[in-house]
Structure 1
C-alpha cells in the first residue's frame, strides 16, 4: 500500500514531468533551428567557408526548459551560431552583421526577424517560440571535442569548448578583430558540468558515454536534479508573474541547485535539501571594480572570471528578490512534506499553477483519492487559455497567500450552500465570494471573473476583465455576483500593495447548470 506521503512525492514528480515541454514542441524547435543552420551553410552563402552551424544552449540544451504559464505564450530558445573562423578584419560588429545579413536573404526569415538584440538575432515563430541566435567563433579543437564523451573530458578540454561571442555593449565591439579580446562563454562546458552533477551513474552501475554533442533525442526520463530545477523555475514564475526585470535568473537557480544537490533520488527530499544548501554556494568576494565585498555566484567552468550575480551590485533589488524567493520556496515546499495528498493538491495549485497541478493529478489517476470536494470539475488543460482572459495589469511579486471561498443562496428559501469542486450551482442565484489573505494592511483588492460557457458566448456576454473591488480592507475581500449563464467559470482574487501584486489566488471554479 502506498502511503499518503508517497502519494505526495509521486504527485510532485508528475508535476515536474508536466512542466516539461512536449515531444512535439521539442521536435519542432530542432526542425526549425536545423533549417536555419542549413540556410547559413549553403554553398551560395558567404559564410559557408566558415562552416556555420547552430546548436542549442541554455535550458533547451540542459533539459530544464519548462512550458510557459499561459499556453498562448511562446517558448524562448537560446542558440549558438558557431563559425569556424572569420575574415581577419572582422570585429564583433562585422561577424554579427554577416550572420544577420545571411538570415535576411531568406524572405521568410527576414519577415520573422525581430529587432536586433545586444548579442543575438531573434526569429519569432508566432504563437509557438522564438529563437535567439548568438553569433560566435569556435576553434578546431572545439569540434573535435564534440565527438568525445562527457566522462572523457579533462579540465583543459572543457575550457576548449568555450566560444567567443558578440556583444554590442562592449567598448571594442566595432573595431577589435582579436577574438581573444571578445566576450567569452562556455555553454557546452557548463552542460558537461551540469550533466556530471545530475548523473546517478554511480547508483545505476553505468558509465557516462553521451557525446558532448547535445540533444541525443527527446526523453521524459530525466534525472531528479533536472526535475528539481524545473519545479524551482515554475515556483519562481508563479511568484513573479511576467515581471522579467527582477525575478531570479534561471542560470543562478540552476547553478546553485546543482551545487547543492547530493544525488538524492527522491525529488521531494532532494528539493528540500537543495533549498537548504543553495545559499552556502554564494560567496562573498572583494571587488576592485566596486571597492567592496559583493555576492559571487561562480560559473563552475569559469569560476575566477565569471559571476552569474554580476548585476546584483548595480541592481540591488535583484539580490533582495532572490533571497526573498529562496525563503518563500523553503517555506512553501517545507509545508508540502507534512501534507496529505488532498492538502498538497490545494496548496500546489497556488505555488505551481492550477493547470499544471490538475494535469498531473489526472495523469496519475490520483483524483480518486482526493476528496470529492477538491476534484476539478469538467476541467481540461486548455480551459484557462481563453483569449478573453485579461493578463495581470501590475508586476507580480506573490510573497503572500490568498485563497478564495464561496457559497450561494437558494432563491426563496434563502438557504446557504458552500461551493466545492463538485457543487452544481443553479442559474439566477447570488454567489458570495470571500478571499482570505495574509497580506498586511493597507492593500487594494482586485477580482477577475471569467465565464467560459456557450450560453455566455452566444449572448455576447463573455467576461474576463480585472476590476477593482472598490472598497478597502475586509469589504474588498468580499464579492457578490449572480449565476447568469451555464458553464464552467472561475474567479481569481489579486491583492495589490504599492502598485505590485503581492498575492494571487488560484482559480476558484464555479459550475453553473
Structure 2
C-alpha cells in the first residue's frame, strides 16, 4: 500500500513536471532560434566568415525553465550567439552592432526586435516567448570541449568553454579591441557542472567519463535536483509575484541548491535537505572594493572572478529578500511533510499555485485520495488565464498565509451548506466567504471575483477586477456574493500591508448551476 509520504513524493514530482515547459514550447523555441542562427550565418551575411551560431544558456539549457504563473505571460529564453572571431579593430560595440544590424536586415525579425539591451538583442514572439541573444566570442578549443562531460575536463579546459561577451555598461565598451579585457562568462561550463551535480549515474550503470551532449532533446524525465530547482523557483515566483527587481535570481537558487544536493532520489527529502544546507554555501569574504565583508556565492566554474551575489552590497534589500525567501521555503515545505494529502493539497495551492497543483492531482488520479476535494469537478487550467482577470495591483511579497472558507444558505429551508469544489451551488442564493490569515493588524483587505460562462458573458458580467473590501465584518475578511450566473467562477483574497501584498489566497472555485 502506498503511504502518505509516498503520495507526497509523487505529488511534488508531478507538480514539478507540470511546471516544466511543454514539448511543443521547447520545440518551438529551438526552431525559432535555429532560424535566427541560420539567418546570421547565411552566405550573404557579413558575419558568415565568423561562423555564428546560437545556443541556449540559462534555465532553457539547464532544463530548469518553468512556465509563467499566468499562461498569457511570455517565456524568457536566454541565448548565446557564438562567433569564432571578429575584425581586429572591433571593440564590444562593433560586435554588438554587427549582430544587431544583421538581425535588422530581415523583414521578419526587424519589426520583432525590442529596444537594445545592455548585453542582448531581444526578439519578441508576442504572447509566446522572447529570445535574449547575447553576442559573444569563443575560442577554437571551445568547440572541441563542448560535448565532453564535466568530469572529463581539467580546470583549464573548463575555462576554455568561457565566452567573452558584450556589455555597454563597461567603460571599455566602445574602444577596447582586446578581448581579454571584455566581460567573461561561462554558461556552458556551468551547465556541465550542474549536469554533473544532478547526475545519478551510480543508479544508471553509466560511467561519468562518457561524453555528455550539453543540448539534450526534450525529456519529461529529469533528475531530482532539476525538479527541486523548478519547485524552488515557482515557490519564489508565488512569494514575489512579478517583482523581478527584488526576488532572488534563479542562478543563486540553482547554484546553492546544486551545491547542497547530496544525490537524494526522493524529491521531498532532497528538497528539505537542500533547503536546510543551502545557506552553508554562502561565504563571507572581505572585499577590497567595498572595504568590508560581503556575501559571496561564487560561480563554481569561475569562482574567483564571478560572484552571483555581486548586487547584494549595492542593494542590501536583495540580500534581505533572499534570506526571507529561504526561511519561508523552509517553513512551507517543512510543514507539508507531516500533513495528510488533503491538507498538503490545500497548502501547496497557496505556495506553488492553483494551476500546477490541480493539474498534478488530475494527472496522478489523486481526486479520490484527497478526502475533501476542493478541486472543482469541471476545472480546466485555461480558466485561470482569462483576459478579464486583473493582475495584482501591488508588489507581491507573500510572507504570510490566507485561506478562504465559504458556505451558502439553502433558499428553501435556510440550512447552512459548506462550499467545496464538488459543491453545486444553486442560483438565487447568497454565498458567504470568510478569509483566515496570520497577518497581524493593521492591514487592508481586497477581493477579486472572476465570473466565467456564457450567461455572464452574454449579460456583460465577466467580472475580474480587484476591489477593496466593504468591511462586511472582521476587518474586511468577510464578503458575500449573490449567485446569479451559471458557470465556474472563483474568488481570491489579498491582504495588503505597507503597500505590499503580504498574503494571498489561492483561487476558491464556485460552481453555479
TM range (shorter): over 0.9
Find the aligned partners of 2:148 and 2:264 in 1 and give their Cα distance.
Answer: 28
Alpha-carbon offset, residue 207 of structure 1: 1.8
Q: What pairs with 1:372-383 in structure 2 (closer than 5 Å)?
A: 372-383=372-383
Find the aligned partners of 1:151 and 1:498 in 2 and give their Cα distance.
Answer: 50
- Runs of 4+, deviation exceeding 4 Å: 209-213
Q: What pairs with 1:37-436 in structure 2 (closer than 5 Å)?
A: 37-208=37-208, 211=211, 213-411=213-411, 413-436=413-436
Q: Deviations over 1:252-294 (max 9, x none)?
A: 0000000000000000000000000000000000011111011
Find the aligned partners of 1:149 and 1:342 in 2 and give their Cα distance.
Answer: 43
Q: What pairs with 1:500-511 in structure 2 (closer than 5 Å)?
A: 500-511=500-511
CA contact (8 A) 2:149 2:192 kept: no
CA contact (8 A) 1:435 1:493 kept: yes
Q: Deviations over 1:427-446 (max 9, x none)?
A: 11111111000011110000
CA contact (8 A) 2:192 2:214 kept: no
Superposition TM-score, scaled by structure 1 size: 0.98
Alpha-carbon offset, residue 472 of structure 1: 9.5
Q: Deviations over 1:272-326 (max 9, x none)?
A: 0000000000000001111101100011001111100000011010000000000
Query: CA, structure 1 residues 219+132, in 2 after alignment: closer, same or farther (shift >3 Å)?
Result: same
CA contact (8 A) 2:449 2:465 kept: yes
Find the aligned partners of 1:209 and 1:374 in 2 and give their Cα distance.
Answer: 49
Find the aligned partners of 1:435 and 1:412 in 2 and give their Cα distance.
Answer: 26
Alpha-carbon offset, residue 143 of structure 1: 1.1
Alpha-carbon offset, residue 149 of structure 1: 3.5
Deviates more, 1:94-103 or 1:452-461: 452-461
Find the aligned partners of 1:395 and 1:154 in 2 and give their Cα distance.
Answer: 45
CA contact (8 A) 2:342 2:372 kept: no
CA contact (8 A) 2:471 2:478 kept: no
Query: CA, structure 1 residues 341+479, in 2 after alignment: closer, same or farther (shift >3 Å)?
Result: same
Find the aligned partners of 1:270 and 1:373 in 2 and give their Cα distance.
Answer: 28
Q: What pairs with 1:460-475 in structure 2 (closer than 5 Å)?
A: 460-471=460-471, 474-475=474-475
Q: What pairs with 1:425-464 in structure 2 (closer than 5 Å)?
A: 425-464=425-464
Find the aligned partners of 1:210 and 1:476 in 2 and give their Cα distance.
Answer: 62
Deviates more, 1:469-478 or 1:194-203: 469-478
Q: Deviations over 1:174-207 (max 9, x none)?
A: 0000000000000000001101100111232212
3-state SS of 1:304 partner: coil
Q: Deviations over 1:325-368 (max 9, x none)?
A: 00000000001110111111111100000000010011011111
Find the aligned partners of 2:383 and 2:463 in 1 and give their Cα distance.
Answer: 14
Find the aligned partners of 2:486 and 2:405 in 1 and give their Cα distance.
Answer: 20
CA contact (8 A) 2:147 2:214 kept: no
3-state SS of 1:278 partner: helix
Q: Deviations over 1:133-181 (max 9, x none)?
A: 0000000101111243443222111000000000000000000000000
Find the aligned partners of 1:274 and 1:143 in 2 and give their Cα distance.
Answer: 34
Deviates more, 1:33-42 or 1:412-421: 412-421
CA contact (8 A) 2:286 2:293 kept: yes
Q: Any stretches of 5+ residues in structure 2 without a counterpart?
A: none
Find the aligned partners of 1:176 and 1:375 in 2 and give their Cα distance.
Answer: 60
Per the alignment, residue 490 of structure 1 pairs with: 490
Query: CA, structure 1 residues 474+138, in 2 after alignment: closer, same or farther (shift >3 Å)?
Result: same
Find the aligned partners of 2:321 and 2:452 in 1 and give their Cα distance.
Answer: 36
3-state SS of 2:447 partner: strand
3-state SS of 1:303 partner: coil
Q: Any stretches of 5+ residues in structure 1 without a counterpart?
A: none
CA contact (8 A) 1:441 1:473 kept: no
Find the aligned partners of 1:147 and 1:488 in 2 and give their Cα distance.
Answer: 51
Superposition TM-score, scaled by structure 2 size: 0.98
Q: Deviations over 1:454-504 (max 9, x none)?
A: 100111111000001144982310111100101110000000011110000
Find the aligned partners of 1:212 and 1:54 in 2 and give their Cα distance.
Answer: 19
Find the aligned partners of 1:377 and 1:103 in 2 and give their Cα distance.
Answer: 49
Find the aligned partners of 1:475 and 1:287 in 2 and give their Cα distance.
Answer: 49
Alpha-carbon offset, residue 377 of structure 1: 2.2
